[in-house]
Structure 1
Amino acid sequence: MGIFQIEGGHQLKGEIHPQGAKNEALQILCAVLLTSEKVRIENIPDIRDVNKLIGILKNLGVKVEAKGKGTYTFQADDLNLEYLESELFKKEGSSLRGSIMIVGPLLARFGKGYIPRPGGDKIGRRRLDTHFKGFIDLGAKFRYNKEERFYGVEAPDGLTGTYMLLDQASVTGTANIVMAAVLAKGTTTIYNAACEPYLQQLCKMLNKMGAMIDGVGSNMLMIEGVTELGGCEHRILPDMIEIGSWIGLAAMTKSELTIKDV
């Protein structure tokens, strides 16, 4: 078993370049499924969960090209939707909680989305109700295979905008519903929406792709559905948790650190 041995009493000095925010990256990567055009994303963190999601996108048929450190292009123009019901996907999807956010884009664009019960850190209840209740409100039909612990939502005739009040201001739940609503017919109004910076970044990216989202940064989002989205370029914010950790470390050790690119 590995251990960390820490010897205190030493000051630190130097420059830090924080990596991109994981929580934003997971949302942004799922959003590439909303268009057949190429999307360029910069400052993607090189960490396990993000790399797992990129692997899922590749297996789904997304063309992924590395353009430099932390920079990739994605093009979802020829997807293999049969992968969603494969044993490989059931294994890969269940190991990553962030994989739940592929459901909204797939449901919006292809009329169906499937996901095994996702894993992730065991922090509190972490329900999925908000996600699926939102999809149902938009007109999707929900099904669950108890034996395989496999969720599915389908809307062969497309989604329709509506008014909804989220039971909790879930960041991933709001993100998933927003990504579904941008291609729904009519207007969707989401009350009690999450408004964290990661979600604001997602909404800004979607608007660059051609979505029509108002109220970004507030707890009420109004989304006018469009028929299709295009490509764009997006840069992920630096990780606020990492930045805060370095600030705290510098303060406690009376050190002088420079945090760049924030």
Structure 2
Amino acid sequence: MASFEVIGGKALKGEIVPQGAKNEALQILCAVLLTDEPVTISNIPEIRDVNKLIELLRDMGVKVGKLSPDTYRFQADAVNLDYLDTPEFVAQGRALRGSVMILGPMLARFGKCQLPKPGGDKIGRRPLDTHFVGLEKLGGKLTLEGKDFYRISTEGRLHGAYMLLDEASVTGTANIVMGAVLAEGITTIYNAACEPYLQQLCKMLVRMGAKINGIGSNLLTIEGVERLGGTEHRMLPDMIEIGSFIGLAAMTGSEITIKDCQIQELGLIPDTFRKLGIQLEFRGDDIFVPAQEHYEIATYLDGSILTISDHTWPGLTPDLLSVLLVVATQAKGTVLIHQKMFESRLFFVDKLIDMGAQIILCDPHRATVIGLDQRNQLHGITMTSPDIRAGVALLIAALSADGRSVIENVEQIDRGYQYIDKRLTALGAQIRRL
């Protein structure tokens, strides 16, 4: 396993461009299975999870052409259904959580799909019930082999249905939408996810010939069509990476400009950082973060302690809570971080406590952070990255800390952040990949 050696305590400066959105890519790439015509996608991030998914599509028979470093052309006109029965497919599917996104397109176009239970971050239970319940309502028949191998099939076309999702799952909604666009009749999805990345998927499908109403809301109405055509699509910048760079600037007292942010798609992210006292300036579509010696956590109007919690869109994304928690360790004031969705995502705080942070882990979902107000720097330690988001949060902590840190298992960070060591080194960070 690779590691990062980080020498912290250095102010950074410069401009950085966010990568394409990882969570959008995993949906958009699987949508190419819905047509036999070429689909060109740009602003694709060069990260492990996305590269593995492209490799999976190629091995399934999708023609893949790399037009530039971030642009690919896909054509799924010769998908090999027999490949789904091979040990190689099982191994690929098991290693990548994004593999679950092939279910809807494959069922809609080919009438069947199978998949081992996907892998991914160890951040708590992540059930797939919403995916399968929705696809079953469209006419899919699910069988479970053992505890972790799924087969789903249909006789003839899927058929439209009304459904009220038990949770506004982003990937669940995406899978159901991709199944419904080729189904016969009308599908109504209530309590649908409406994140910008889901909106991007819907807009792409409409350009391919799908009929979808209610994009951007939690009530989608889809009139199925017989076939879809090709299209071109450009992905949004990654909002989680943008938030990570804001947090990095604050923790290291750095002046950083984040370029081409699509600010209107960031939702509550900028205002949440402002609640921690971080100054942000919008310059066109760029975000300028000035160097700050101190930043102070806001309180509620009655003076009570601020709570920052995650929620489905348009609430705050859970993927940024790890970064926000780290940023709060050097603020002035106290904040309660409430991670509602995943019960194991806060368990990385023991590393921050070892670095000198003042954090009380109340339970698996809540942590109280007492900010040090830059009076005492964190100090470097050796630690392991448990998942993508905790990994980058620990990297931010190490860059702000006094002395040398070693972060092991950085493959987790590589899954979600493109060339992060090289890009931060260009800003003045001292990071060495071991």
The normalised TM-score by structure 2 is 0.59
RMSD between aligned residues: 1.3
| Counterparts of 2:31 and 2:12, CA distance in 1 | 39
> Counterpart in 2 of 1:38?
38
Superposed structure 1 runs of 4+ greater than 6 Å apart: none
Corresponding residue for residue 138 of structure 1: 138
Identity of aligned residues (%): 67
CA distance in 1, matches of 2:153, 2:63: 25
Question: C-alpha distance in 2, partners of 1:124/1:196?
Answer: 22
Deviations 1:205-224, CA, capped at 9 Å, x for gaps: 11111111111111111101
Residue by residue over 1:127-150, the C-alpha shift from the partner in whole angstroms, topping out at 9 and shown as x without a partner, is: 011111011100111111117x32
Taking the TM superposition and a 5 Å limit, the aligned residue runs for 1:110-259 are 110-146=110-146, 149-259=148-258
CA 1:45 to 1:2, structure 2 compared with 1: closer, same or farther past 3 Å?
A: closer
Q: Distance in 2 between matches of 1:87 and 1:6?
A: 39
- Separation in structure 2 between the aligned mates of residue 183 and residue 250 of structure 1, nearest angstrom: 46
Distance 2:8 2:86 in 1: 50
Residue-by-residue CA offset, 1:84-108 (whole Å, 9 max, x unaligned): 1111101111110110110100100
Instruction: Give the 5 Å matches for 1:8-27.
Output: 8-27=8-27
Q: How many angstroms does 1:183 deviate by?
A: 0.3
- Could you tell me which amino acid in structure 2 is paired with residue 185 of structure 1? E
Match of 2:86 in 1: 86
Gaps of 5+ in 2: 262-434
How many pairs does the alignment contain?
261
1:28 aligns with 2:28: yes
> Could you tell me which amino acid in structure 1 is paired with residue 244 of structure 2?
S
Corresponding letter in the other structure for 1:197: P
Q: Which has the higher contact order (CA 8 A, sep 6+)?
A: 1
**Which moved further from structure 2: 184-193 or 120-129?**
120-129
**CA distance change for structure 1 residues 13 and 200 in 2, over 3 Å: closer, same or farther?**
same
Structure 1: gaps (5+ residues): none
How far the C-alpha of 1:30 sits from its partner, in A, is: 0.2
Letter in 2 for 1:49: D
Q: Secondary structure at the match of 1:124?
A: coil
d(CA) in 2 for partners of 1:154 and 1:109?
A: 11
Corresponding residue SS for 1:136: helix
Looking at structure 1, the residues matched to 102 and 84 of structure 2 have their Cα atoms a distance apart, in angstroms, of: 10
- Per-residue deviation, 1:251: 2.6
